């Protein structure tokens, strides 16, 4: 049976006409699917019981459900979601005074094996479908409204998986999230983060996407990046610089670099200088310097405060727009790089 959310509006309308139903039924169902967020046909209370049973016979409605939620001392909420076929995937609600940000996943597990990321040690089971990604955002938004009495302000694709290796589902999910008959969120409030798939970064440019892009750089030379991010062996820094410039030329959208500091690996003044050189080759708005969050398998640790301060000072002295991002949700393994379905 077909998942009803895979149909566009016209196909839903045609289905109802073929059933001998009125056209307006399509509008009612469409609203239940994308605006009232029904997770079963029985939720669609303005349809007759017979019609709901017919829909159940003709279609499936596989929806994501919250399996467990953990609350951090700092207000961060981590949710473990269960898919219709019993896989688990995590999403995080990160609250600040000004923003309520949903950090969402795009894959169940990951195939890139970045050495500092807990998800990288998990097997990639499958891609999330566009409607499952949509459900993640809906469920995190409902939590935000319930706990903080505020809707989400931002979405970041920085959870489990590599978004650009699930390209069509991620783009289709963002299309629904930003659609007027969906969540109607501005694409300018959505950031897709990639470990660096040069070919797909260029494709984003060709597709004239309207969301922001973040590159997880984490090391300023190929030798060091190869050590912690195997993807660099096929997508080196030179190729990524070229792809980011192409993306910017095509879209004019904001680009940021993400850079986790690791003690004695990428935190020296020489590393800072190499990072400045990369920054100057790309029209990047910002470098987010991120605190390293320990995971079970990784041998590195975070630098001492003085080393972090010296690194930040060097960037500032060289007129780099850099921000030190303090980690949220560390006590519940919800911080950057820690998602591994432990909840």
The residues annotated with a catalytic role in the active site are 90, 336
CA distances from 169 to 150, 164, 221 (A): 27, 9, 32
How many Cβ atoms sit within 10 Å of the Cβ of residue 320? 19
Q: To 10 degrees, the CA torsion angle through 212, 213, 214, 215?
A: -170
Instruction: Give the separation between CA 65 and CA 24, rounded to whole angstroms.
Output: 29
Residue carrying structure tokens 């990604």: 133
Q: Give the residues across from 40 on adjacent strands.
A: none
Phi and psi angles of residue 130, each rounded to the nearest 5 degrees, phi first? -60, -35
Positive or negative torsion for Cα 306, 311, 317, 319: negative
Listed in sequence order, the DSSP H helices in the chain are 9-18, 24-34, 49-58, 130-148, 167-178, 198-206, 222-228, 237-251, 269-279, 305-317
């Amino acid at each position: 049976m077909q998942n009803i959310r895979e149909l566009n509006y016209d196909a839903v309308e045609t289905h109802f006409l073929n059933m001998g139903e009125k056209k307006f039924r399509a509008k009612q169902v469409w609203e239940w699917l994308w605006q009232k967020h029904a997770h079963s046909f029985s939720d669609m209370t303005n349809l007759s019981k017979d019609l709901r049973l017919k829909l159940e016979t003709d279609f499936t409605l596989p929806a994501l459900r919250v399996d467990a939620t953990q609350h951090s001392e700092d207000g961060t909420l981590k949710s473990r979601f269960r898919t219709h076929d019993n896989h688990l995937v995590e999403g995080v609600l990160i609250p600040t005074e000004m923003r309520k940000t949903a950090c969402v996943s795009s894959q169940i597990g990951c195939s890139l094996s970045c050495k500092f990321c807990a998800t990288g040690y998990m097997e990639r089971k499958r891609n999330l479908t566009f409607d499952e990604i949509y459900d993640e955002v809906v469920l995190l938004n409902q939590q935000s409204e319930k706990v903080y009495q505020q809707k989400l302000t931002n979405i970041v694709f920085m959870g489990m998986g590599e978004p650009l290796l699930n390209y069509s589902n991620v783009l289709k999910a963002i299309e629904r999230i930003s659609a007027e008959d969906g969540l109607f969120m501005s694409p300018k409030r959505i950031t897709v983060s990639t470990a660096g798939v040069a070919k797909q970064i260029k494709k984003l440019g060709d597709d004239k996407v309207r969301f922001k892009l973040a590159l997880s750089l984490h090391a300023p030379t190929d030798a060091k990046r190869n050590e912690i991010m195997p993807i660099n062996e096929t997508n080196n820094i030179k190729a990524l610089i070229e792809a980011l410039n192409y993306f910017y030329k095509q879209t004019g959208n904001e680009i940021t670099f993400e850079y986790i500091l690791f003690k004695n690996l990428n935190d020296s003044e020489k590393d800072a200088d190499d990072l400045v050189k990369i920054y100057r080759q790309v029209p990047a708005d910002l470098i987010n310097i991120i605190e390293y969050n320990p995971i079970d398998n990784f041998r590195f640790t975070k630098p001492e405060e003085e080393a972090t301060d010296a690194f930040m000072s060097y960037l500032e002295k060289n007129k780099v727009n850099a921000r030190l991002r303090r980690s949220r949700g560390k006590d519940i393994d919800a911080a950057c790089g820690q998602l591994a379905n432990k909840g």
